[in-house]
Structure 1
């Protein structure tokens, strides 16, 4: 295979690999929607089981609305930034020579952006948890632990089934 064909194959396969990795990170084809996957986020359904006061419900609603407004305001900016990252990735892959320094710089930018989003998510979760009483926090933690345990068991069964089919 000539070098130009190798680059062409790389240019075609790499975006597919990134896409597949993204899908797998989100829990397969179903993603994190509808209770699928091992997501133990603080959902509305979990909070409904905590016997919240009207004041707590109002405060949590305000926090969710603030988060939603923030996402709506930053959504187009994030999409544009992701498109720019994809273009930079494509440019790196299609370049005649691989530039390690540019690749490192791009990877660091992407990690910094992901870190910023994670910190914002944790800030919102902290705000939500600060609304709860100690007993409610304990109950929520127990529900999350139970869900995680159930999910791990489900994942173990899937892995065993997959190994049995391959072996």
Structure 2
């Protein structure tokens, strides 16, 4: 029994050290070739954040001309341009609504609430209500943008879009 345990520990240690030495060697090779992994990695953006932020994948699913489900419609170039303008305006509005300072302030308030000796239920409810109000504003803004984009469609495109929505709901 003891020999099996010791053998398992020796094997686990050997494998761990082998993997570690492989990683160090690969890193040194990259540095000798003039590569900086943090800057050259395609998954890392200029500000140091990765492709995955906040649990949402920011990768391949966000392709060109995917304007809120209108991409599968046969849109004219003018419709595409108008939709792009609407989305740009909506994106700018979204940035105005939620700044980094606001996000940090909310996080600090939550941390203060969690680290307090007694739980302040009224303060927690007010923080939750403020977050829900912001979420509601973002949803309202998105619905307004989607409505504007829907109004750009022809009657045939509107019918096709409604049909696509029905198919999506019946999955």
Deviation at 1:82, TM superposition (A): 1.7
Unaligned runs of 5+ in 2: 1-53
Distance 1:57-1:141 versus aligned 2 partners, 3 A rule? same
* Aligned Cα root-mean-square deviation (Å): 3.1
Corresponding residue pairs, total: 117
Aligned residue for 2:119, secondary structure, equals coil
- Which residue number in structure 1 is paired with residue 130 of structure 2? 109
Aligned residue for 1:127, secondary structure, equals helix
1:144 aligns with 2:165: yes
More helix by share: 1
Deviation at 1:45, TM superposition (A): 8.5
Unaligned runs of 5+ in 1: 1-27, 37-41, 151-167
Distance in 2 (alpha carbons) for counterparts of 1:29 and 1:108: 22
Distance in 1 (alpha carbons) for counterparts of 2:129 and 2:75: 42
Distance in 2 (alpha carbons) for counterparts of 1:137 and 1:107: 38
Instruction: Name which structure has the greater RCO, CA cutoff 8 Å, separation 6+.
Output: 1
TM-score, with normalisation over the residues of structure 1? 0.57
1:66 aligns with 2:66: no
Q: How does 1:88-103 map to 2 (within 5 A)?
A: 88-103=109-124
Deviation at 1:87, TM superposition (A): 1.1
